[in-house]
Amino acid sequence: MMMRRGAERNTLPNMSTKTRRRVRMWIPQLMVLALGCLALANIWVAPLPDTLPGPRPINTLIFLLICLTLLWRQRVPVAVLFAVIFLVVVQSALFHPSFQNPVRQIPLVSFLALIWCFYSVAAYSGVRRAVVAGAIAGVVILPAFLLTLRAGVHPENILPSLLFFAWAWFIGTTVHQRQVQAARLQDLAVQLEL
């Protein structure tokens, strides 16, 4: 009887670990799916006020590319960040090439994708790579924001976006540091057990 209880105790943590791994594996894909559904709803069903004007099929294609790119954010976060920045810039340039009718903000789904990319770079890259990628992304994004300022957009519409990007990057850095610390503690525990 005692051996059975002990065996049950040992299998339950393993089952929860397997379940946790499955959940961790599927949550990012489900989040990308939710982001894609939000984009499609934004384009086809109930456009939000900040949606970029233009042909719906082109907007759909751009958001589809953004969502597909996000599936790779854990493996190659820096490349995903720059790919999403490029797609958002293309999206803005296609629909507002002359900035005669400036956009107050980028579309919500594009903004959420960029926040997620900044978080991913900091969480899944090394510290040095995350700092360099964040700095380069800032250098790339800053001229676009300066152009929108020049076009007549008020700074209070732009500064919160920059703060959200910095906040996401900081949270990703914190998560990365905790993961590294947890791995070190696990290695130390294994060494002490040996």
How far apart, in whole angstroms, are the C-alpha atoms of residue 107 and residue 61?
14
pTM (two decimals): 0.76
Tokens of 77: 């976060």
Q: Which one of 11-20, 49-58, 97-106 scores highest in mean pLDDT? A: 49-58
**Residue 14: pLDDT over 60:** no
Q: What percent of the chain has pLDDT over 70?
A: 74
**Residue environment code for 11-43, b if the CB has 16+ CB neighbours within 10 A, otherwise e:** eeeeeeeeeeeeeeeeeeeeebeebbebbbebb
pLDDT of residue 6: 46
How far apart, in whole angstroms, are the C-alpha atoms of residue 154 and residue 80?
29
How far apart, in whole angstroms, are the C-alpha atoms of residue 73 and residue 129?
14
Q: Which of 2-16, 78-92, 118-132, 138-152 has the lowest mean pLDDT?
A: 2-16
Per-residue pLDDT of 99-131, as tens digits, reads 444 444 577 888 899 999 999 999 998 888 888
Backbone phi and psi for residue 89, each to the nearest 5 degrees, phi listed first: -65, -40
How far apart, in whole angstroms, are the C-alpha atoms of residue 194 and residue 188?
10
Per-residue pLDDT of 127-149, as tens digits, reads 888 888 878 887 777 776 776 66
More confident residue, 44 or 86: 86
pLDDT of residue 72: 92
Amino acid at 32: V
**Residue 57: pLDDT over 80:** yes
More confident residue, 29 or 4: 29
